[in-house]
Amino acid sequence: MLAEYAAFSRLVSGLSADEWQTPSRCATWSTADVAAHVVGQLTDVVSLRLDGLGLPEVTSRQVAERRGKAPKELAEELESSVEIASTLGASFDDQSWNAPPPGSTVSTLGFGLEALWFDTYIHADDIRAAAGRTSVPGDGTLPSLSHISQVLSDQGYAPSELALDDMRPFAISGGGGQTITGAPFAFILATTGRGDLDAFGLGDDPNIYR
Kindly report, residue by residue over 46-75, the tens digit of the pLDDT: 998 988 888 999 999 999 999 999 999 999
Q: What is the pLDDT of residue 103?
A: 67
Structural contact between residues 4 and 139, judged by C-beta atoms closer than 8 angstroms:
yes
The Cα angle at residue 140 between residues 76 and 57, in degrees rounded to 5: 60
Average pLDDT on 144-171 reads 95
> Does the pLDDT value for residue 187 go beyond 70?
yes
